[in-house]
Structure formats: structure tokens, C-alpha cells
Chains A and B, each alone.
Chain A
Amino acid sequence: MNFAFTPDQLALAQTVRDVLAAHCPPRALRTGRLPAWDRLAEVGFFGLLVPPEADGLGLGLTDALPALEETGRACLPGPVVETAVAAPYLLPGLPKLASGEIRVAVLPPGAAFAPDADLADLVVVARPGGARLVSRDSVRLTPRPGADPCRPLFDVAYTGSTPLERPLEPALLRATVATAAQLIGVARRLLELSVEYARTRRQFGAPIGSFQAVKHLLADVAIAVSFAAPLVHRAAVSADAQERDAPEPGGGDTAWRDARTAKAAAGEAAVLAARSALQTHGAIGYTEELDLRFWLARAWSLSAAYGGAAEHRAAVRAPVLAGDTRRYP
């Protein structure tokens, strides 16, 4: 048993981190809709989960998880989870997916709007009778107001669509876990920004980070993130195990339990990190001008994406009470 990422998994994350540091700095969030996407495509990021037959690497979600966390840390805009994680399960043979030339947006079940649909070549729309696949030329998008300036929402109408052959569930499961990983990255960055600010901002002749009220506020964020992250890692291991061991119906219950638990904990940790970051910054944090706003907004938008914490906790309640307390991933 080795509950730690392998050197390969960490090296992949480091590559993505370096690319994002160079090509998705905070100022890029104000100018472009897709900063660093071409560079990520060059390092093979969009093919990580795509099967080898379609020119991908055929890796598991666990392998890609630390890299996905980096996309959250950098607040990378665009339909990252949808294109890099959901699409390989929904459209595994799609040409040009692995190379990053095709982008996919998703309107998940229960959601009103599709984020980043303006950037998508294909939109997957969940519908009661089965998911539909809509191409760029037959979609009509209407922008809707939302909290996150770098993750705009769109009402999706369409003139033509085809049925999606693959089931939506496995892709949603993985998108949920991947979003949780991004939330961990967002939370870690918010904590770093708060610590940096608390070390430099002075009041009463001392750095505000020397005051115990500020220390304890940020210590609680550190605790929340530290104990949410392993739940996200386990959810990825469970998703991969489900694919390997129990692809039959019902086999995914534990994977869903773990995914929901992870998403709830990661969302709560990120929202706490956002709330505490804003409090630590005071009024300057309450401005459009400070880059902090991008991470605040990402914490809020992703914590709601693919189901909020309360919804996931409610869904986990029944099976756990009914005795699904199995502990292996």
C-alpha cells in the first residue's frame, strides 16, 4: 500500500505547473480566454486520459490528478475538465481530442447553464431521455450572469443534435473528482496568497500575520485543505479501481460515494479558503483590481460545479447509513 503519488505522476504535475507559470500568469486572466492552452496541448495534456487508439496516453485519473490540481492553482480558464477528463470517456475515439484541437463543453444534469460553451467545438447536453451531442454550428448560446469572470455561463439552445452513444455517468464521476482536484489547487493558492499578504501588510507597527486571530484563521484553512486532499486522491483511486475491477452496473457505488465525499470536502475547503483570504486582505481584497478576485470567484464557481457540497453530502447519507461503510478504495 502506497498512498502517495509516484515520481511520474508528480513530474507530470511539475511540467504542467511550469507551463502555467510561464503562460498563464494572473495578467493573462484579464486578456485571453484560453491562455496556455496551446502550450498544454504541446506537452500532451489533453491526451492524458484519451485511449492510445486515439493517440492519447491512456492514463488513469489518478495519474493526471496532481496535474489537474495545478490547473486549479493557476486558475486556468476554459473547459479544462470537460475537454481533458469528461470528453475522453464520452467520445473516446474522437480525432483531434488528444492533440487539443477540439474543445468540449458539458451541460451536466441538473445544471441550468454550460460554462465555457463559447469556446467549445462540441457541447454535450444532458437530457432526461439521454445525453445529446451538439456541434458548434447548430448551437445557439446566450450568455448568463455568473460569479466567475473567467468561467462564463451560457444558456444552450440548439437546432440539431445527435444522441451520445456512451453513458454520461462515468464521465460525470471523473469530472466531479477532477473538479475537486482543481478546488484543492484553488484553495492552496488562496492560502499562499493570504500568507504572503499577512507577512507583508503591517498595522499597529507589526505584520498582521503576527496577530493570533489571523494566524488561527489561516491555520484552519491549512487543516481543511490538508484533510480534503486525501479524500480527493482516494476518489481518483476508487474511480480507476471501478473501471478496472467492476465495470458492471452497481460496481460504481463506492466510486460515487468517494467522489461525492471528495467534492463536498474540497468545495468546502476552497470556500473557507476564499472567505479567509478575503478577510485577511481587508478592503483591497474586495476590489476588481487585485488578482485575488480570480481565485475567489473560482472557489465559488467550482464548488457549485458538478454538484455543491450539500447536495453531495445528502446523496452520500443514505448509502452510508444503510451500511456502505466499506473502506477499501
Chain B
Amino acid sequence: MDLDFSRAEQDFRAEVRDWLAAHVPAPLPSLDTPEGFAAHRAWEAELAAARLSVVSWPAAYGGRDASLIDWLIFEEEYWAAGAPARVGQNGIFLLAPTLMAFGTEEQRRTWLPRMARADDVWAQAWSEPEAGSDLAALTSRAVRADGGWRLYGHKTWSSRASYASHGFGLFRTSGARHRGLTYLMFPMDEVTVRPIAQLDGLPGFAELFFDGVLVPDSMVIGEVGDGWRIAMAATSSERGLTLRSPGRFLATADRLVALARDADPVLADRAVRCWTDAEAYRLHTFGTARRLMAGEEAGPATSMGKVFWSELDLRMHTLAVELLGDRAGETPWLDGFLFSLAGPIYAGTNEIQRTIIAERVLGLPR
């Protein structure tokens, strides 16, 4: 049990820190606007050119074969430097781990290097109007056709789909609730996309309408009918580690403490508690990373992390907005606050996570 970073880990941190200090741009326009989306893609390309966009991936796909600990170090530095949001995050943190675990080598070689440079930006297309928490109730279909599969149906709440080039999601290939689902990728070209404005007024989501789009077999991930298992494997990494690493919350906590420096002790106490909770998430994650590096599965315990980080993020932004009062809108805190409100909803609501913890971690009856 120690917290001593090796020489190599320290050198890596220094390299990342120096590079970011020299390259992080002034705040970009929101990635939910056309100009902002383009600017964020350009930033991803710049990161990729320094081989910093996906450090934990194999070098063959644009990464550095970095360990999970290195990746956590990268994330700490990235968010501390105030670097831009990651426009490709749903591809990088959800689709890529799925392709690494269940895809073919051809799929990995085709899609991962392009994803690493944000040549393609991927949207997640899981949810449907009648299938939210009850994801397996989804009804969008993939029908066997000459040369592949034809997609039909209606997906919604797909983040960044307003501008994304590709999507990935679950489609029904037979009636069986779980065994009838297949994981597919598709280009957005022939999908009808209807942007949906979020609380901030920008089209951060979109609805997707499929009317017989044809995708070749090479766009199927894993076996036909194995989509549920593949998707669930991806969610444990989404909830636990990769989607929201500690670095983001540590940076927010540091800024919150600076904001609360001269605040009334009651408010300052809330800020410091958030800071120590962000530390708890960091340390907890170091423990999880070690277990993963030793070959263990993340498993349902990652649901605890999802509840913890989302509720911490909400507390931090709520306090910041309270401290700033009318001036909140002149700072990035207001947008951050609006986004933090979504944390307990996306990636599986916190109610669903608590049920998972109770049943699969604690062993309470269904």
C-alpha cells in the first residue's frame, strides 16, 4: 500500500503538464454549436498529433499503451489545465472499449485510429422514447437484407448526435428480450436527425429516425443476438472509471475551494467537504485501477462510483452557483451546474444504480 508514483509516472505527468501548458486554447465555444463542434474536433486532432488523445490505447490505434494509472495521471493534468471538453468521449470511452473487447481486428483498425483523431465523432444510440431505464424494452429493429442489415426505428437523447458522423447502439434482431438484441454501428448520413435543445438551449441531444438504412455485416459488433451482454460490459466501464475519471472532479473541487476562500464558514465547510470527497473518489479509483490491472473485473461495484461522482458533481456546482449568485452566468459555473444536473440521470439513473448495488453487490433479493 503506497501512493508513490514511479519515476516514469512522474516523467509522464511532467510531459503532459508541459504540453498542455503550451497548447491548451482559450475557452472554445460550446461543442453543441456548429463552430464549437468544429473547434473541438480540431483540438482533438492536435491532441492526437501529440499522441495524447487516447494514451491508454495500443500504439497501433493511436495510443501509447499507457497503464491505467498513467491514464488517471493524464486525466488529472488534463482537467487541471482547463482543457476543452472531449467531443469524442462517447466513442473513446464507450465504443472503443467495446471494440477492444468484442470487435474484430479489422473493425479496430478501421475505426479506432480515425476515432483517436476525431476524423469520426460517434454518438451513442441506446435510449428510445419507450426504453429509458428499461433499456431492454427497446423496439428499433435490424432486419436481415442483401449485403447486411436494414435499420428501422426511433432513438432519442443521443448526445452530440446533432453533429456526429457515426452512431452505435442496440437493435432488435429477434423478439427475445435480451437475446434478441444486436450491437451495431452506423454512419449518420442516411439517418434523419432531429436536434433537441437541452436546458441550456443548445442542441446537445438529438432524436434519430431510421427508415431502412443499410449497414454491412462488418458493422455488427460481436455475435448477432449478443448485444445485451456486450452493452452491459461497456456500461461497467462507463459508470466506473472511464467516462468520468477523478481528474475532472478534482479540478472542479480545487476551483470551488478557491471560490469559497472568503466565504462564510458554513458555505466554506460545504466546499471543503466536496474537496475531501473528490479526494475519496480519487483514492478509491486508484484502488479500482490496481484491481483492474491485476486482471480483476470492475463489475457491479462501479455503480457505487457512478452515484458518488454524479452526486458530488451536483453538490459542487450547486454550491458554486449559490456562492456566485447573479454573477454565476458570467462564469463557466452556470453551464457546469446545468450539466451536473444530468449526472444522476445519464449512464443509468442513480435509482437504477442503487438497485444494482443492493442486488448485485450486497446480494439483496430481486
Contact = CB atoms under 8 A, between A and B. Distances in A.
Whether A and B are associated in the same complex: the answer reads yes
Nearest to A63: B1
B85 to A, nearest CB: 23
Interface stretch (A140-148, A227-235, A298-306): A227-235
Interface in A297-323: 313-314, 316-317, 320-322
Interface in B348-364: 351, 353-355, 357-359, 361-364
Interface string B326-366: 00000000000000000000000001011101110111111
Interface stretch (A67-75, A161-169, A206-214): A206-214
A1 B4 contact: yes
A99 interface: no
Contact of B272 (A4, A228, A313): A313
Interface in B231-286: 250, 254, 257, 260-261, 265, 268-269, 271-273, 275-277, 279-284, 286
B365 A237 contact: no
B268 A233 contact: no
Contacts of A231: 276, 279-280, 283
A230 B362 contact: no
Contacts of A62: 1
Interface in A90-139: none
B276 A199 contact: no
A314 B276 CA distance: 12
A111 to B, nearest CB: 23
A220 B2 CA distance: 28
Contacts of A65: 1
Given A223-B308, A230-B283, A234-B283, A195 B290 contact: no
A237 B364 CA distance: 34
A24 to B, nearest CB: 25
A162 B240 CA distance: 55
Interface centre among B4, B9, B308 (most CB of A within 10 A): B4
Consensus secondary structure, chain B interface = helix
Contacts of B269: 313-314, 317
A328 interface: yes
B308 A219 contact: no
A199 B3 contact: no
Interface centre among A4, A209, A316, A327 (most CB of B within 10 A): A4
Contacts of B5: 1, 328
Contact of A3 (B3, B6, B363): B3
Contact of B307 (A223, A237, A325): A223
Contact of A220 (B9, B272, B354, B361): B354
B86 to A, nearest CB: 23
A237 B3 contact: yes
Interface of B: 1-6, 9, 69, 250, 254, 257, 260-261, 265, 268-269, 271-273, 275-277, 279-284, 286-287, 290-291, 301, 304, 307-308, 351, 353-355, 357-359, 361-366
Given A216-B358, A321-B261, 4 more contacts: A195-B364, A219-B307, A223-B308, A227-B284
28 contacts: A1-B5, A3-B1, A3-B287, A3-B290, A4-B1, A195-B362, A195-B363, A199-B363, A209-B364, A212-B355, A214-B358, A215-B354, A215-B359, A215-B364, A216-B354, A218-B362, A230-B283, A231-B283, A233-B287, A234-B279, A261-B279, A264-B276, A317-B269, A320-B257, A320-B272, A321-B260, A327-B250, A328-B5
